[in-house]
Amino acid sequence: MTKQNKLKSKVKAAREAAIRRTLSADVRRRVGTLKRTRKPKRPRKMVIDADILLYQATTQFLMEEGPDENDEYRYTLSGTDVKEYVKDRLDEIKKTFFLSEILLCFSSRSNWRKIVFRDYKANRTGNKPLGYLDIKKRLAKIYPCEEVPHLEADDLMGIHATDPNYFDGDVIIYSEDKDMATIPGLWVDPRNLDRGIIETDAKAAFLSHMAQTMTGDMADNYPGIRGIGPKKAENILAPVVNKKLLTIWKTVVNAFVKGGLTPEITLTTARVAYILRHGDYDFKTGEISSWEPPS
């Protein structure tokens, strides 16, 4: 080994050692605002958006080396660091929320929403971060994980969180995806940990779903009504908040029509924006029930 290679090796080893030393402190900083909840009377299981968790972990520990003599760069990833990071985060979450069980939920490569709206997530053409798939396999050997063909992690969390027979206790969703507000039940948003465990009732979940339908989601590449953002959607729904679900739905359809869109487009958008719940998916046959508006 040349002196230059020995030096590179020492620098790399020192950098990885520094990462390991600061790992726990980094995790404490990220989850340090968590307030330990009182020990619950009922057991708790948390269904976790593992897509986001693993993406954050793999991108955080991606290291750039170079340029070399050919002016090229090399990227490396320490699987050990990623696993330690994930372990520390999960340990802290389990301790904070007094969890009896956890489940890591991953999205399938195939997606039922692309059948409903073919351009769904068509804007996401890049590859997964370096090491993502390999480390995903490693985590599956350590933690309970679930991935179901055609379903997203959101769907798995929504189905389990609304299934009264899934777990003998409380099921809590852990995700920073704002769409979790459309699911009735318990939710922890790691971006807003000071809110603790958020409880969403059925009416609030329906209103969130309707607001999401009007705004669309450009991150997922499906449009809503042109010019309608979260605030305008809230203003449209404000007069009918206390009305029946059918009245709320008609209000949303009317907003789409005023925006130059059809009732058929309204329904398609609402179906794409909808996160599956208990009863919407048959685990034996793989059949998915489309969302239907209130009648």
* pLDDT value, residue 70: 62
Would you tell me how many other CB atoms lie within 10 Å of the CB of residue 265? 18
Q: Output the domain CATH number for residue 196.
A: 3.40.50.1010
Q: 97 lies in which domain range?
A: 41-201
Determine, yes or no, domain membership for 164.
Answer: yes
Determine, yes or no, domain membership for 289.
Answer: no
Are 181 and 224 part of one and the same domain?
A: no
Determine, yes or no, domain membership for 68.
Answer: yes
Are 236 and 254 part of one and the same domain?
A: yes
Are 51 and 189 part of one and the same domain?
A: yes
* pLDDT value, residue 33: 39
Are 239 and 190 part of one and the same domain?
A: no
* pLDDT value, residue 129: 78
Are 56 and 139 part of one and the same domain?
A: yes
Return the C-alpha torsion angle 83, 89, 92, 98, nearest 10. -100
Are 222 and 169 part of one and the same domain?
A: no
Say how many CA atoms lie within 13 Å of 156 toward its Cβ: 24
Are 64 and 184 part of one and the same domain?
A: yes
Determine, yes or no, domain membership for 4.
Answer: no
Are 166 and 215 part of one and the same domain?
A: no
Are 247 and 115 part of one and the same domain?
A: no
Are 45 and 170 part of one and the same domain?
A: yes
Domain-terminating residue out of 179, 201, 223: 201
How many independent structural domains does the chain possess? 2
Per DSSP, the chain holds a count of helices (H) and strands (E) of: 10, 10
Task: Tell me which H or E stretch contains 107.
Answer: none
* pLDDT value, residue 180: 97
Is residue 127 within 8 A of residue 282, CB to CB? The reply is no
Report how far residue 87's alpha carbon sits from residue 81's, in angstroms, rounded to the nearest whole number.
Answer: 10
Are 213 and 160 part of one and the same domain?
A: no
Q: Tokens at residue 274, please?
A: 């909808």
Are 218 and 145 part of one and the same domain?
A: no
Determine, yes or no, domain membership for 5.
Answer: no
This prediction's pTM: 0.83
pLDDT tens for the chain, 295 residues: list them: 555 555 455 545 544 444 344 334 443 333 333 445 678 889 999 999 999 999 888 877 665 555 556 656 555 556 677 788 888 899 999 999 999 999 999 999 999 999 999 999 999 877 777 778 888 988 899 999 999 999 999 999 999 999 999 999 999 999 999 999 999 999 999 998 888 899 999 999 999 999 999 999 999 999 999 999 999 999 999 999 999 999 999 999 999 999 999 999 999 999 999 999 999 999 999 999 999 999 9
Q: Output the domain CATH number for residue 217.
A: 1.10.150
